[in-house]
Structure 1
């Protein structure tokens, strides 16, 4: 009986530490587009995956996104540009555009 109890404890440990697909809400690209606040284009999402800017998983030939990982990614401000970065990029764009037209 004692051996059975120990075996049961080991099974419980293994099952509690095992990767459980039910804990994940998987999103495809279209679902991710709708979920993200900025509603980026598909091409933008694929660009983010190719440069590894966003967490993703490959399931066969499909790209899937774990909602929990996306939420954490959204909370992480490192991937977000600051207002000063955006202003600098806009000014550089306008300046370069103006130089090209002359």
Structure 2
């Protein structure tokens, strides 16, 4: 089962049961993950610019940046969860 990079109805995790990573929905999930990670990079860059700027950032600007960062972190954690689930577990090393 693959954790999809979006939530299902009622905000619950959505999963894909497929034979491989080449189904249409799986490819779409890959594209969404790439877009989410690209967006996260952009938001982090812009938040850094806002907070490191010479001018004092307005409270509304900082709040907006914080909300976008939370959204991006949520998406990134969802992607990480999906990818960790696809990594095969290794047997414990007896040493």
Give the shorter-chain TM-score range.
under 0.3
Q: Which has the larger radius of gyration?
A: 1
Larger RCO (alpha carbons 8 Å, 6+ apart) = 2
TM-score, normalisation: structure 1 = 0.27
